[in-house]
Structure 1
Amino acid sequence: MSEIMTYPISDAVTLKSFTDPRFKTMRVSVNMLLPLNKSTAARNAILPSLVGRATREYPDYTALGRRLSYLYGASLGSGVQKIGEYQALGLSAGGIASRYAFGGEDMFAELSGLLLGVLFDPLRDENGLFPEDGFTQEKRQQLEQKDAEFSDKMIYAHQRCHELLFEGRPAGLDRLGSREDIEALIREDLRGAWEELLAGARFEIFTLGDCQPDVDALRKRFLKVGMAHKLQPVPYEEPELKRVTECQPVAQSKLTMAFRAQVPVEERLLFQLTSAVLGEPTSSKLFQNVREKQSLCYYCDSAFSWVNNAMFIESGVETDNLDRAEEAILAQITAMQKGDVSEDELKYAKLYMCNHLRAVKDSLHRVESWYMSRAFDQPDMSPEQAAGILTEYTVDDVVQAANRLQPAVVYKLKGGGE
């Protein structure tokens, strides 16, 4: 099994390489993490897709697309995530491995060169402004993304619960910024913004798949960029329970609950296991008791986020069952806290998690996601090591973890309203 190799470039830049000839493809990605800030969130969020439209060498969408086609249908991608109190902006290039190139091209050199052109030489005019047509289109797409997330009530309910849980903190901000801030963006706002981002971000670079990175070339290019942010989870604060109900004209109501716990790094996997016992696989308490036996929800899932020191429970519910569903969910947590966790429930939760961990290295995207999530702690822990740790936990460990969960938010999106 291939292992991750870590190459520190500087205090602000880390290169991680996962070489595995089982794959017929490769992927090169650059992730830039910087603290979330309301004044810059919308501006920063539009930048990855904007710089990915054209470079000085390939000055329009057509020229860039032609180059990607020439590289056997290679792809360029961009994305924006929120990880705790950080905005994570990503750019990536992917394509076939060099051994499948008919012309003998060094595909790593080609793809990384293209990506570096996007990063360090995006197309701008003599005044330092991005092309107006590209800016207009990307701004429209960002607003459409906001509309899509509002229309998807599962996403919307999670976002509202997140906002309420971290109200007044950067973790409560949207990764794309507010709709008002996006609408207010003008091209002149972005003059110098890309250089500011390159100078102020923490860089996590990945080379993945059937390729060998040119470490010296990447070190030379990234040695003088970035800022050495020490990545930290969202600080734990003793919660005061917030209860919020909103009404909208939807057929299916949503119930989203948040719990906080102070979890040191070494107990991260224990709380993820506790979440699995409670509400992830079909063997879990929420699935068996709330969804199946009581038929109170269409779905009822839990997930623990260590970087947020929080557990979220999300469900889709008939409007008339909102209160009963809340009571039933809390009853399952109370049962766990009193020791009602069977050895079978623990075993099936471990099997569920270990199956997911074994599948990490079957996908380049999953490999990157795993090690990106580990940038905040234990950066070199492999999925295999995590699986080994999981198997050692006992029922008593899970019960003790459940007793440390503190209710923080109950958010209800109630159907039938305007």
Structure 2
Amino acid sequence: MTILAKGTGDPLQLEGCGWDILAEQVSLPVAVIKQDAISHNANWMVNFAKESQVLLAPHGKTTMSPALFTLQLEHGAWAITVATVPQVSVAIVAGAKRVILANQLVGEYHMKQVASMLTDTDVELYCFVDSIANAHALGTFFTQHSLRISILLEVGVEGGRAGWRNLATIVQLVNVCQQYASLEVAGIGFYEGVIHGHNAEQRIATFVDSVIKTAADLRQKNVFSKALPIITGAGSAWYDVVTKTLNKSEQAQQFRFVIRPGCYLIHDTGIYQDAQQAVLSRSNLACDLGESLVSSLSIWAYVLSTPEPGVAIIGMGKRDVAFDAGMPTPELIYSPPSKQLCSLGGAVKVEKIMDQHAMVSIAFGCEVQVGDMICFSTSHPCLTFDKWRQIGVVERDWVITQTISTYF
């Protein structure tokens, strides 16, 4: 007996005419992305980066899919950003020649793995450093192994995530790094997404401006190993503010700016749709690029039960879809007997979600039957993707023509 993986169908049929979701040729629930949507989104962000005169290093943690990393690189991404050493290996296998480990490289085993990557491949790898202890550990290890590693000094904000807090004293960290010929200080990294509040935009701009000034001071002191040191930041919500602030600096021509948004490729109809609307309200450049980012990810699931009027139980739960930043949104309903595909228009709403079930309310006059298939859009694509080892790729007709693998 062969184990049936969720969201899959007959492998031989996939190689032939594909899996037709509406013809019930695949196990539900199934997660799918639209090919035209991801291609559009990849082009959109690359064009934004080009027009903003910055380089794009999309964060791979959203999809952790080599196929999608490759797509982003083919569309013009300068590098792939990741958060862990295993993720670095996925990016390299996907063909990335430059990888930013936007995190601290800690632990001897991790350092050994990175040393092997530097020895066995031609990857250009950067990692974040934000402490004297980590600088000593990296410097000692890579000196002993006769290797050089490029590091980015990470700076942060009070109450935020990692990052050296006091920019006025960052020379203390620099001095330790300069004790080791194995450590090449290639630039500065930051993450502005931890800054919140009603005046977040201004606080982010102020923070980014302070990062540039600090980098300029360090450049004058010949701290950096590159003629054009890297300054890298920008997640998926504030990339417009970051790029605008970077480019208006008098020192802009002295640095290489790299932005690291990740969710743009998949996008959603929840928190990142809201974030993108905010970008469009702030950025004329983003508006001028034409149609904005579009949600590419859907989950199809069966109606399992209609136990009482106005209520249905769906065969989709926390094991299948993100629920941390808003419930999935029912978009379409398909009736296999009648072969009718209809928009729900808000008539069905997810009220509660459990491990394997979602409870939905049904508006008066909307008919939902056991065996019907409902298509959901999502909020926060990262936490849907990590629930799937295989994700289908569809065209406009809901036929899965290929699958992509994920490595979370």
Q: TM-score, normalised by structure 2?
A: 0.26
Q: Which is helix-richer, 1 or 2?
A: 1
